[in-house]
């Protein structure tokens, strides 16, 4: 937890994002790229009939094989982050939303460095912000500003508002960051539908450590932060049952998302950000 708290103590999501991504990339070489020019992303084998102006003769001199230089525009993709800002995301210390928006900022910065177009949609019971995917520093800073304004509010109602916003997107990658506390069927519908339309789809299920590490003794109330309803809980008799139900809930969500072809990751608010981003970097490659 200390590693996460050290990051969250830093003011400004822009600085947090840079620290997290720099740590992720530290000591990693751009092994999949030849790296002669920042204008080029990678190489592919030459096919007879292609314009020889794009052959890299230095690479040929080293390898004895003909390679065509691929522009970043050929290899980059459009990515959209869906950030749940509903009231339940305000739970915990640090709150799930504080963790989630830092994760979203770091992810946006990583994608920016990979010259991918990145955008963001924030939502609760309705869509709050829509920034279509774009490349460049101006778009990245707009994402940071949007994330800085994000506050927990309202209930989670996903399908109708999100489907309307997502229909504006072209094929690419969509990353959902949410605690999945409500409207899970709607989440499934949105993400599964995106997968069927050819999107790469990924879910980061953000949960508080207080939701995982429930006390084993005492009595208290569970409050629904979106409805205000409360339920009494006796930890002396119910803690073990709670942990069992909690694990099965997570396992059930994982099975359902994977069945729909959606990558699913459980993330607690004490999980180092670098560990969360590593699967994405492995999938996309990186600088």
Lowest-pLDDT choice from 15-29, 41-55, 223-237: 223-237
Token readout for 284 is 């996309």
Q: What angle do CA 59, 64, 68 make, to 5 degrees?
A: 45
State the pLDDT at residue 184.
83
Q: What is the DSSP string of 48-66?
A: TTS-GGGB-HHHHHHHSS-
State the pLDDT at residue 121.
92
Output the average pLDDT for the chain: 80
Lowest-pLDDT choice from 72-81, 179-188, 227-236: 227-236
Domains and CATH numbers, the chain: 2-26+76-284 (3.40.50.410), 40-72 (no CATH)
The per-residue pLDDT for range 179-197, each reduced to its tens digit, is: 998 778 888 888 888 888 8
Where is pLDDT greater, at 54 or 248?
A: 248
Q: Which burial class, exposed, middle or buried, applies to 285 when counting CB atoms under 10 A from its CB (0-12, 13-18, 19+)?
A: middle
Q: What percent of the chain has pLDDT over 70?
A: 74
User: In DSSP terms, which residues pair with 206 in a beta bridge?
Assistant: 267
Where is pLDDT greater, at 74 or 5?
A: 5
What's the predicted TM-score (pTM) here?
Answer: 0.77
Pairing of the two strands 67-71 and 127-134: unpaired
The answer, yes or no, to whether residue 146 has pLDDT greater than 90, is yes
Token readout for 264 is 């699913």
Where is pLDDT greater, at 246 or 106?
A: 106
pLDDT range class, residue 29, cuts 50, 70, 90:
very low
């Amino acid at each position: 937890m200390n590693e996460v708290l050290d990051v969250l103590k830093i003011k400004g999501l822009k600085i947090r994002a840079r620290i997290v991504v720099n740590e992720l990339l530290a000591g990693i070489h751009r092994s999949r790229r030849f790296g002669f020019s920042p204008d080029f992303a990678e190489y592919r084998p030459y096919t007879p009939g292609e314009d020889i102006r794009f052959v890299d003769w230095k690479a040929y001199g080293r390898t004895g094989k003909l390679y065509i230089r691929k522009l970043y525009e050929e290899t980059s993709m459009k990515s959209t982050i869906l950030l749940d800002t509903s009231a339940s995301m305000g739970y915990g210390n640090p709150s799930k939303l504080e963790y989630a928006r830092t994760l979203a900022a770091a992810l946006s910065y990583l994608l920016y460095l990979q010259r991918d177009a990145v955008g963001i949609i924030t939502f609760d019971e309705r869509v709050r912000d829509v920034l279509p995917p774009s490349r460049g520093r101006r778009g990245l800073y707009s994402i940071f500003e949007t994330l800085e304004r994000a506050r927990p509010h309202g209930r989670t109602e996903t399908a109708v508002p999100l489907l309307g916003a997502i229909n504006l997107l072209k094929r690419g990658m969509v990353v959902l960051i949410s605690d999945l506390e409500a409207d899970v069927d709607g989440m499934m519908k949105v993400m599964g539908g995106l997968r069927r339309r050819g999107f790469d789809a990924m879910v980061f299920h953000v949960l508080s450590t207080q939701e995982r590490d429930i006390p084993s003794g005492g009595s208290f109330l569970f409050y629904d932060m979106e409805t205000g309803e409360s339920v009494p809980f006796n930890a002396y008799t119910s803690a073990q049952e709670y942990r069992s139900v909690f694990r099965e809930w997570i396992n059930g969500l994982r099975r359902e998302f994977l069945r729909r072809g959606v990558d699913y990751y459980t993330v607690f608010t004490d999980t180092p950000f670098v560990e969360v981003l590593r699967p994405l970097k492995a999938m996309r490659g990186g600088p």
